[in-house]
Structure 1
Amino acid sequence: MRKARKKSNDNSIFPTNLEDLKRQLQTKFDHNSDLNYTIYQHQNQQLAVFYVTYLIDTNKVEASLLKPLLDSKQTWDNTKLLNQIPLSSGKKAKTMDDILKGILMGEVFIYIENEKEIVSYPLKKEEKRDLSKAETESLVLGPQVAFTESLATNMNLTRKGILSNDLVLEKIIVGEQSPKELRLAYLKSVANQDDINTMRQRLVELEVDEIEDSSVLIQLIEDSSSSIFPQFYETELPDRFSYSISKGRVGVLVENSPTGIIAPITLFSFLESTEDLYMRWNIGSFFRILRFIAMVISVLLTPMYVAVVTYHYEIIPMPLLITLGQSRANVPFPPIFEAMLLELLIELLREAGARLPTKVGQTMGIVGGVVVGTAAVQAGLTSNTLIILVTLSALASFTAPSYLMGTTIRVLRFPMIILGGVLGLIGIMFGICFLIIHLLKLTSLGGPYLSPVYPFNWQDLNKTLFRLPYNMQTKRFVSFRLRDLYRFDKDKARKKKDIDE
């Protein structure tokens, strides 16, 4: 294991002269031509302005920084720079580490010779794409807009979703070689303080070279990195992110990542869709329960077939047994091999369809499934019955709103098929017991993963397995131990008046 690198020396390099500062910077940047270092003579003063060209909005540098700096008739010092230059977010630095990090994050530095500190302004060039429709979380009802790679845009979308001064977007910098800005989002009067402190501590104490994306960040800070189940929720929908924050959860936005992180979550969070909120409560509850049933079907249907056909013919009704016998009459392989072959085929088609261009990928998935499935039956490699069951299992896994949970469900089928083929129903029960024990031990930001089923809390069941009408959802998630449990007054919500009353 690599030891954590020691903190670099924090001794100030100032005061110094401009040529010495230039030599130090050029040495650090290995004489990179992209470092723009210019010395200006102004009112018997020498000032140095330096930055990396392609990281900076040069129009802002010329209009908002250099013009007022050089057109002024007064002499400058650091205090005057911070108070009179028409730019916000100016700050001071005094070490080479601070300067190097600032340069790489798109800051412009101004140094007045022989001053004890240096002044910087963030003038980063914003490269961002336009707002577009979500790709991985498709919706029929509700807002369609998705997060982008711009942190400023994502914070703006979050602010639009939560118009409250109670919303906190706390700035955190992570990464030693390539620093990246993160924002810790929460409602300060609602969220559990332990959750906020835990998330903040995990982020601040990270000692890594860089964070490529929010998905990588999750792998570094989640409770159990060895578990196949995701413990934080990734979403590209601003409305889901804002909704979760308003319910007392903690969120994280990462620069250059089009997804937000939500925690703590439970297993049932991955079966919820924001679309459930925009439907009537009874319809939304039906689809939520349907997804839960689909998850169970996807994990157990094919393994149950393998176990029953291999070891437990006696539990199959006679008319169905005759049909199964005729279907498998020309198949030379045992059921476990037959099932593994088809499951791998489904996964290959899905992966190929995901990597190909959109239109070609859809055609590949449909045509490939039909052609290969028909050919497999005609060649005697598999039976018609198993093709139907494998297809149902695959369709059931696609109902999960979360791509990560859908992938987890599909992967779980393979060990369950092996257990069913080797030990029959006993093996499947062994796999189910192992799965339940693992889920009982799993946590998300320190909270139980199976809440509110374990530990049981009946008050939270209407927020997980089903949902009630809005005027009855007066409480937030009780199991999260929030500061403010009540969303609104129940009696006022139920009181309805006509215009003539």
Structure 2
Amino acid sequence: MKILRKKNKEFPNIQIDHLEIGQDQNEVDVLSESLKENGTKIKKLFEGTADFTFREFEIDNLYYAMIIYLDGLVDLEKIELHVINPLIKNNQAIVQQSELKIDYVLEQLSSADVKQGETIQAVIDQILIGSTVLLINGINKAIFIGEQSWEQRSVSEPLSEAVVIGPREGFTENIRTNASMIRRRLKTTKLKLESMQIGRLSKTEVIITYLENTAQHSIVEEVRTRLRQIDIDAIEDSGYIVEFIEDTPYSVFPQVLQTERPDRVVGNLLEGKVAVIVDNSPFALIVPVTFFGMMNSPEDYYGRFIMTSFIRLIRYLFLLIALMFPAIYIAVTTFHQELLPTNLLFSVAASREKVPFPAVIEALLMEITFEALREAGLRLPRPIGSTVSIVGALVIGQAAVEAGIVSAPLVIVVSTTGIASFMFPNYPLTGAIRLLRFFMIFLAGTLGFYGIFLGVFFMLVHLVQLRSFGVPYLSPVSPFNLNNMKDIFIRVPWWKMDQRPEQTGKRNIRRLGVRFRKY
């Protein structure tokens, strides 16, 4: 048992005692030469663990040995082939020695991943990650054989980011598979992958990856620092980490990009950004990010620039519709009827004649119902989820209009707004827009257009102040950078984008050869 003293950041003169029991003792408890003693200690630690397995055998009938592993995490056939059989059947070099040495044992093993350890804690850690531990009587070291094997999902098309044009590979829950998909796309020694563990109980492996000659050292170091400061029992998904490393966690706007597409990760690495891969999660994290970067889709770079630019303009138009269309309808029908043409005004007034609620209550009822249908469609089994959401919206909308609860124009407004919210390529950003839409509806219902202008003003002020790992959230619009505007609202041809974004890629600003001909 050991008491660790840590200083409080706010009150450096006050020390807080943290008591850690068990772990520190294991870290200093070295292995002895007695196989029985080592085995007893390890068995006691794993007492009551059903999948804890050990097997004792003799090396050429001379030296007692034991292998320890967790059932379901190792490949038993490979252990039999690469560990047990070589030690039992092929030990002439070992027998000739007066005493058994670990070097001779290592020579007999045919496994590629072999390590050594000297403490009980090292043995426990290796067992828990799926390694097989070999203990030999007379040797005060343990041998760790990495022959892990468990069921895992195969590489498939990403589910949360639909692919129209481009690679159809998506990340899986295996961190090694995910790292290999990035390495396969960037065949350079400049691609660095740094590993660490987070979680006192889960010991989840996390990999920081970046391009050494492109990413800024300050951003990479900041990512390392924020990850090391995370002190939690377990990390079950990369989403846990997002809230710990965001600059402004109380903002509704996401400051970390989550993606399950390897090509999107590689594209951001080439711009000087840093990616974080988490074991047991198919979503990689990318930092720093900007608002305009999350509005872009990987398909924008695979298609022709003319069509891509048109789609981007439509995307930004529908961003305004998704955010403010219901609020504008409420403001016009409640406070500013003079803005409508006479015929349209009569039509809207006639449709709202039987509606007993004010426009703002009417809109809130429809928006909340639409959000409920959307969530129901996500939670239901996939074959019937989309059908139920679509049919439910049609049936409820039609029934509500016929019953006089809502007006027909509002159904059109809510439907158009719902369609607009599906156009964004980033799900967390979609959630932020959906939430802010209710805020705009409330302002429009109380102050009309003045409330809408006030809401837009406060949102812009917040976005201008927002940072993602020190990078302005609205860059390159604020602060304005004309050279980086080539890939914001429109996308210029590739031969025109000869430089990386200055905010993240200024260490290696040129991405296009200087001899390339520009048209």
SS at match of 1:494: coil
SS at match of 1:492: coil
Q: Does 1:105 align with 2:121?
A: no
Q: Deviations over 1:396-449 (max 9, x none)?
A: 110001112112211111111111112222222222222122212222122111
Larger mean Cα displacement after TM superposition, 410-419 or 312-321: 312-321
1:8 aligns with: 24
Quote the Cα distance in structure 2 between the aligned partners of 1:311 and 1:484: 54
Quote the Cα distance in structure 2 between the aligned partners of 1:327 and 1:417: 20
- Deviation (angstroms), 1:296: 1.5
Unaligned runs of 5+ in 2: 1-7, 9-15, 95-99
Q: Deviations over 1:20-45 (max 9, x none)?
A: 22222222112424222233332532
**Distance change (3 Å), C-alpha of 1:307 and 1:82:** farther
Q: Is the 8 A contact 2:30 2:118 kept in 1?
A: yes
1:73 aligns with: 92
**Distance change (3 Å), C-alpha of 1:493 and 1:257:** farther
Q: Is the 8 A contact 2:214 2:505 kept in 1?
A: no
* TM-score, scaled to structure 1: 0.94
Q: Is the 8 A contact 1:472 1:490 kept in 2?
A: no
2:49 aligns with: 32
2:221 aligns with: 197
Of 48, 68, 75, 1:57 maps to 75
1:323-362 aligned at under 5 Å gives the runs: 323-362=347-386
Quote the Cα distance in structure 2 between the aligned partners of 1:436 and 1:83: 66
Q: Does 1:289 align with 2:289?
A: no
1:38-437 aligned at under 5 Å gives the runs: 38-42=55-59, 44-71=62-89, 72-75=91-94, 76-82=100-106, 84-437=108-461
Q: Is the 8 A contact 1:471 1:490 kept in 2?
A: no
SS at match of 2:28: coil
1:499 aligns with: none
Quote the Cα distance in structure 2 between the aligned partners of 1:375 and 1:418: 25
Q: Deviations over 1:368-395 (max 9, x none)?
A: 1111111111111111111111111111
Quote the Cα distance in structure 2 between the aligned partners of 1:173 and 1:404: 26
SS at match of 2:92: coil
- Deviation (angstroms), 1:82: 4.3
Quote the Cα distance in structure 2 between the aligned partners of 1:67 and 1:286: 65
Quote the Cα distance in structure 2 between the aligned partners of 1:79 and 1:177: 33
- Deviation (angstroms), 1:121: 2.0
Q: Is the 8 A contact 1:26 1:32 kept in 2?
A: no
- Deviation (angstroms), 1:289: 2.1
Letter in 1 for 2:31: F
**Distance change (3 Å), C-alpha of 1:168 and 1:84:** farther
Letter in 1 for 2:222: T
**Distance change (3 Å), C-alpha of 1:41 and 1:84:** closer
Q: Is the 8 A contact 1:22 1:37 kept in 2?
A: no
SS at match of 2:160: coil
Letter in 1 for 2:76: T
Q: Is the 8 A contact 1:77 1:112 kept in 2?
A: no
Q: Is the 8 A contact 2:271 2:504 kept in 1?
A: no
2:40 aligns with: 23
SS at match of 1:262: strand
Q: Is the 8 A contact 2:271 2:505 kept in 1?
A: no
Letter in 2 for 1:358: R
SS at match of 1:36: strand
CA root-mean-square deviation: 2.1
Quote the Cα distance in structure 2 between the aligned partners of 1:5 and 1:259: 34
- Deviation (angstroms), 1:3: 8.0
Q: Is the 8 A contact 1:56 1:107 kept in 2?
A: yes
Larger mean Cα displacement after TM superposition, 201-210 or 55-64: 201-210
- Deviation (angstroms), 1:86: 2.3
Q: Deviations over 1:446-494 (max 9, x none)?
A: 2111111112111111122221111111111111154211112244243
SS at match of 1:185: strand
Quote the Cα distance in structure 2 between the aligned partners of 1:30 and 1:420: 64
SS at match of 1:61: helix
SS at match of 2:508: coil
Q: Is the 8 A contact 2:309 2:491 kept in 1?
A: yes
* TM-score, scaled to structure 2: 0.90
**Distance change (3 Å), C-alpha of 1:4 and 1:450:** farther
Quote the Cα distance in structure 2 between the aligned partners of 1:436 and 1:402: 20
- Deviation (angstroms), 1:114: 4.2
Q: Deviations over 1:287-312 (max 9, x none)?
A: 11221221121111111211222222
2:489 aligns with: 465
Q: Deviations over 1:238-295 (max 9, x none)?
A: 1111221122211111212112111111011111111111111121111112212211
**Distance change (3 Å), C-alpha of 1:351 and 1:5:** farther
Quote the Cα distance in structure 1 between the aligned partners of 2:18 and 2:430: 36
Aligned length: 495
SS at match of 1:190: coil
Quote the Cα distance in structure 2 between the aligned partners of 1:355 and 1:192: 41
**Distance change (3 Å), C-alpha of 1:122 and 1:493:** farther
Letter in 2 for 1:255: D
Q: Is the 8 A contact 1:78 1:118 kept in 2?
A: no
SS at match of 1:8: helix
Q: Deviations over 1:64-114 (max 9, x none)?
A: 122222322333433444455222332222333222221110011122234
Q: Is the 8 A contact 2:276 2:284 kept in 1?
A: yes
Q: Is the 8 A contact 2:87 2:108 kept in 1?
A: no
Larger mean Cα displacement after TM superposition, 183-192 or 90-99: 90-99
Q: Is the 8 A contact 1:198 1:445 kept in 2?
A: yes
- Deviation (angstroms), 1:227: 1.7
Q: Deviations over 1:198-239 (max 9, x none)?
A: 112222332111111112222222222222111111111111
Q: Is the 8 A contact 1:15 1:113 kept in 2?
A: no
Letter in 1 for 2:166: G
Q: Is the 8 A contact 2:272 2:505 kept in 1?
A: no
